[in-house]
Amino acid sequence: MSDQAIRKIVIVGGGTAGWMSAAGLARLLGAACQITLVESPEIGTVGVGESTLPTLPYFNRTLGIDEAEFMRRTQATFKLGIEFKDWGRIGNRFFHGFSDFGPLVHGRQPHLSWQRLAREFKDMPPLEEWSITAMMARKQRFLPPLELVPGMGPAYAYGYQFDAGLYAAYLREYAVQRGVRRVEGMINEVEQHPETGFVTAVKLRDGQRVEGELFIDCSGFRGLLIEGVYKAGYEDWSAMLPCNSAQAVPCARKEGITPYTVSTARPAGWTWRIPLQHRTGNGHVYCDGFTTDAEAGRLLLENLDGEALGEPRQLRFTAGRRRKSWIKNCVAIGLSSGFLEPLESTSINVIENAVGWLVQYFPDRGFRPELADEFNRLVSQRYEYVRDFIILHYKINDRSDSEFWRYCANMPIPDTLRHQIELFRETGHVMIYDLQGFREASHLSIMQGLGLQPKRYDPMVELLDLRHLQAHFWNLRKAIERAVDGMPDHAQFLQKQAAA
């Protein structure tokens, strides 16, 4: 039987997606496969994804990366979640943290019991006070995860806030040290097998020819291979996610470094604030149908914490995904596969997922179509689950101060999301489609934070002893307070453990 193992992989494009793919494959395949990455300095990267989910620490650990070194090299800070301001209504504020609201209560989610207590006692503290990451963020404390309740596992998780350009450069060094060959140049021709249609090589403007058996398209929005060659098609979600523009600009860092990202709703979108060790990242995501670029830039610059370190950088995009991310021997990862605005810091997580699924369903040179079908199913579902979660932030709102927010309140939404909203509104239960993505606590943080309150309560909770419920929540709240008060200040911990 002939050897069908893939021996040559070509990655088209660098940036975060390209070098995460190269690093992950180099770590797993070692010398068994020659990996070549082609990138051009003439093509810029988006490079504004400076905030992550708690999955990136696991990705880094899989690569064997030392966290302290990574944080020094990327000017990173720790992230406990996102603070939302003016979402739902002007003056509103809530926190989406990377923790739940305590252990199950008699086998049921704790928020169901909290809802009963909040109904019985008007002075019941808000549910957010049972999220340890929300309390850590409020007091700007940080310590790696601990067990709040013995035997229950880590009580919370954390992500990072870092310079995406520095992260790509760090992974490039990592990958090259492990045998990845970097070729610099502009691709001006793609060669295909005359019978199968498989990509066989890319030719550069300087005449170089790079052959491969598996091609990974990390070429960004243009999708050089997946769209340019294979015409995968694009599913446009702009009717449900109308934001199509962004401006980004760093500013000088003020004193103190918050362990969380801030998202503030604006008349035609939202702004972000991401604190790094050496600067603060800022941006304005908006719909150009409801404001002008000039007005969006003015609003961004007027709300910076410190002096702007340059002019705002303009970006354009259309929310959606490719209809297929794997066609023949080409796999699209990153922006070439799809784009969803960075409201919940999901861009890098989708790259992690795609790299992981490519490894899981890694082909041989036979490229069985069933592998591509399963990869496409998983990637498509992940984009749809994230899409619904982001739409949720816009749909539930009482803002009538601008045309943009009035549009969002009335816009069509997927049936899957409509079911989630109605189930919570009518019963207080949270339904999750994606068990590997945002869980009950995340959906609850957003729905309740935006002001959506259930009309009815779980009848099983009515059978529980009210005094026992009170004691449970009181003891847990005290335990959270003690734990948080015993933690160091985030900036001090950062300076001690991972200062750049």
Active-site residue list:
79
Closest residue by Cα to residue 12 from 230, 218, 221: 218
Closest residue by Cα to residue 384 from 447, 428, 316, 438: 438
Helix or strand run (H / E) with residue 220: none
Between CA 257 and CA 259 the distance in angstroms is: 6
Structure tokens at 395: 């749909």
Taking each helix axis from N to C end, the angle separating 15-29 and 164-177, rounded to the nearest 10 degrees, works out to 30
User: Mapped to the 3 state alphabet, what secondary structure does 317-360 carry?
Assistant: CCCEEECCCEECCEEECHHHCEECCHHHCCHHHHHHHHHHHHHH
Between CA 151 and CA 147 the distance in angstroms is: 7
Between CA 56 and CA 33 the distance in angstroms is: 25
Torsion angles phi and psi, residue 62, rounded to 5? -60, -35
With contact defined as beta carbons under 8 Å apart, do 81 and 260 qualify?
Answer: yes
Between CA 289 and CA 304 the distance in angstroms is: 24
In whole angstroms, how large is the CA radius of gyration of the chain? Answer: 24
CA within 13 Å, CB half, 167: 29
Structure tokens at 365: 């040179």
User: Cα 374 to chain center, whole Å?
Assistant: 22
Contacts of 197 (CB under 8 A, 6+ apart): 328
Beta-carbon neighbour count of residue 451 at 10 Å? 14
Beta-carbon neighbour count of residue 146 at 10 Å? 12
User: Cα 101 to chain center, whole Å?
Assistant: 21
Torsion angles phi and psi, residue 312, rounded to 5? -60, 140
β-strand partners of 331: 216, 326
CA dist list (Å): 183 to 329, 330, 340: 20, 19, 29
Between CA 430 and CA 172 the distance in angstroms is: 41
Beta-carbon neighbour count of residue 254 at 10 Å? 12
Beta-carbon neighbour count of residue 188 at 10 Å? 11
Structure tokens at 129: 């006070």
With contact defined as beta carbons under 8 Å apart, do 51 and 342 qualify?
Answer: yes
> β-pairing, 81-85 with 261-266?
parallel
With contact defined as beta carbons under 8 Å apart, do 404 and 394 qualify?
Answer: no
Q: Residue 25, SS3?
A: helix
